[in-house]
Amino acid sequence: MRTAVNRRKVVAAAVTAALAFGVAACNSSGSDSPSSSGTGVAKFWTLEDPSNKLQQAGVDAFNKTGQGKVVMTKVPTAGYLDKLRVSMGSDNMPGLFFSWGGGPMREYADVNKIVDVDSVAGGGEIRDHFLPSVLAIGEKDGKLYGVPSRGTQPVFIFYNKKVFKAAGVDAPKTWDDITKLTSVFKSEGVTPFALAGNGESSWTELMWLEYLVDRIGGPDVFKKIADGDPSGWKDPAVLKAAQKIKDLIDAGAFGSKFGSVGYGAGGSSTLLASGKAAMQLMGSWEYGVQSGASEDFAKKDLGYVPFPAIPGGAGDPAAVVGNPSNYISMTTAAPKKTAVGYLKTLYSDDYVKSLVDAGEVPVTTNAEAALKSAPNPDYAKFQFDMVKNAPSFTQSWDQALGFKVATPMLAALQNLFNGKSSPADFVADVSKLS
């Protein structure tokens, strides 16, 4: 399973490239050519990572169908988004490309470089094979520009079962439970929540803000922010979320040294596994981190529960935040029949099973049966059900927003966590962003 560490290394590059793209892209019309309507060779650019073997197997299987040919090119992480940006601003675009969905992908839609899959012959049936909450990140104005291509990574609370048993308490189900458990574990000399708060890990703090804003104000608060409306930052839910974060810090929920802790083995994950911390709010990749560093702990004593509701909040407690999936988009340069044919392989039984065997949780409607053969079926089913039943799946804010907004937002959030600014100061700082 891919870890957060790998994902976060490319986020900044992704949003930077998306912003830079805006100028270059406008210099190219990107209009359809007659040859782009049928079969042919579709160049497919993707990020170089361990999942490439699965992708190549899917490409090879498609190429045997006689519906055209897909040629996959693996591009190193360091140069992927820059190469894509340059290509998309020229007459040498790939026909298909890997993306993270959300804002950066939508910028290509704004300048008519990518195609609404629903509008292409045979493409209208594709959306019916994916979970709606995940599909939404590949949409703009109701049009489908990105088709989910890999597993999902929701965020939720992990906990140490052994530590909970020793304290005689149960896993949290409500916000009141979070408050009480903070007091219980603090009195036991255990940090209630492991938190990686050093300078390189501010994205771990962001998960708290993401869930609190969602639970207090619902998904439309961040949607307004993501749509470029700075007034969204002034929604009362943002200030209330910041105040709850301060309340947690003041209550000792994260201990007193989280500002020097990093994420992963040797950092916050080790604090959880060793029993020095009772819980951690983290993405689903945490199971993989724990399995690699503390396999016995992962199998026997690692528990997990959804983030609880906030009393009086407008948000649905079934809503999810995190990384919905990765996506594949079709450009105007693609031979449409070939591209649609390949996109349909992303929900084939063979491809879905290959994702499951690799430890991922697919977001297709036929994934549930395949999850029975997952490395940890119960854990896989827990994630799938969360996403399947989610009325909304909010993409990680730093991934959904442009670099211009995400960087100062994370800096302002870290100031809040480090006690350098108040909740009101935080709102004032982020309200200046657009």
Q: Write out pLDDT tens, residues 166-192.
A: 999 999 999 999 999 999 999 999 999
pLDDT of 304 above 50: yes
Q: Are strands 320-323 and 69-75 parallel, antiparallel or unpaired?
A: unpaired
Q: What kind of fold does domain 4-152+325-387 have according to CATH?
A: D-Maltodextrin-Binding Protein; domain 2 (3.40.190)
Note the pTM of the prediction, 2 decimals: 0.89
pLDDT at site 130? 98
The structure tokens listed for 94 are 């790939």
Q: For residue 25, name the pLDDT band (cuts at 50, 70, 90).
A: very low
67-76, 79-88, 245-254: the lowest-pLDDT one: 79-88
Cβ–Cβ < 8 Å for 135, 375: no
Phi, psi of 42 (to 5 degrees): -105, 115
Q: Which residues contact 8 (CB under 8 A, 6 or more apart)?
A: 203
Query: Does the structure show a pLDDT above 90 at 39?
Result: no
Q: Where are the domains of the chain?
A: 4-152+325-387, 154-321+402-430
The overall average pLDDT reported for the chain is 90
- CA–CA gap between residue 216 and residue 124 (Å, rounded): 36
What residues does 281 pair with on adjacent strands?
Answer: 157
Mean pLDDT value across residues 225-249: 95
* Confidence label for 34 from pLDDT (cuts 50, 70 and 90): very low
Residues above pLDDT 70, as percent of the chain: 91
Whether residue 14 is predicted with pLDDT greater than 90 in this model: the reply is no
- How many whole angstroms from its chain centre is CA 216? 20
Mean of the pLDDT values across residues 350-366? 96
Nearest to 249 by CA among 212, 301, 274: 212
Asked whether residue 208 carries a pLDDT value surpassing 90, the answer given is yes
Equal CATH topology for 4-152+325-387 and 154-321+402-430: yes
CATH 3.40.190.10 fits 154-321+402-430, yes or no: yes
Coil, strand or helix at 39:
coil
DSSP string over 250-312: HTTTT-S-GGG--SSTTTHHHHHHHTSEEEEEEETTHHHHHHHH-HHHHHHTEEEEPPPP-TT
Please check the confidence at residue 426 and state whether its pLDDT lies above 80: yes
